[in-house]
Amino acid sequence: MLYTAASGASRVMEAQAIRANNLANADTTGFKADLERVNAKVIAPIGDSLQTRVLAQTQGSGFSRQSGTLNPTGRTLDLAINNAGLFSVMTAEGEGYTRAGAMTADATGQLTLDGRPVAGLAGPIVLPEYRELFIGDDGRINIIADADGVIEEVGQLKLVNPDIALMSKGLDGLLYPQDRQPLPASEEVTVSSGFLEASNVQAVGELIAAMDLSRQFEVQVKLMKSAEKLAEAGNRLLRDA
């Protein structure tokens, strides 16, 4: 009884951490809510003992594949993917992928996303000085450099369209394929400039789930206290025998 209750309480604490992280990222652009998955693992009995112990084991949580709403910003370098697809960024471990599209140019003109270089079809994208900038729905970046009005293409975003069910979320919040190999670019993915995809976290649902988990934790603690009282009663009987 004590073992089962302690196992359940530990599982509830892990679930609470997942819910708290989702709520903390309810306003994070492109964030995908983590999911909670639990497996009931039966502990094999020893000798003639009864099979009564069950371990609640948290598995790889996965994440919600639902798309967030597109919010207009009016900023050219704010990009949102229409329907399926992911942006590509460069990391120390290779390419990572995300739905967040709040891009900025650093002091050298390199296009970055959350401090990471944005991947283009020909490598990282560096913007020269420009007067106006346009981004097409296929991810092509064009600029007007001077008053002559000549339009110049300076790069194209690497947009990928993998099976999202085969992707996993890293500790950095980016999505990665299982083999961690770079994904091929897809011509089917389109983007909208001047929009950002909101987080897909359902704040009300997460709050309700967190409250339910708190009640579950209280039940597990009561079970542990009951197990302690039963053990004390058993010890008194042995002492009095």
pLDDT tens per residue, range 177-199? 988 889 999 999 999 999 999 99
Computed over every residue of the chain, the mean pLDDT equals 86
How far apart CA 179 and CA 28 sit, in angstroms, is 27
Query: 68: closest CA among 210, 227, 199, 231?
Result: 199
Are the beta carbons of 124 and 153 closer than 8 angstroms? Answer: no
How far apart CA 215 and CA 231 sit, in angstroms, is 25
pLDDT for the residue 61: 66
Are the beta carbons of 78 and 193 closer than 8 angstroms? Answer: yes
Query: 115: closest CA among 133, 132, 102?
Result: 102
List, for residues 111-127, the tens digit of each pLDDT value: 999 889 999 998 899 88
**Mean per-residue pLDDT for 27-39?**
84
DSSP class per residue in 180-196: -PPPPP-SS-EEEETEE
What are the boundaries of each domain within the chain? 1-64+201-240, 70-197
Residue 132 pLDDT level (bands cut at 50, 70, 90)? confident
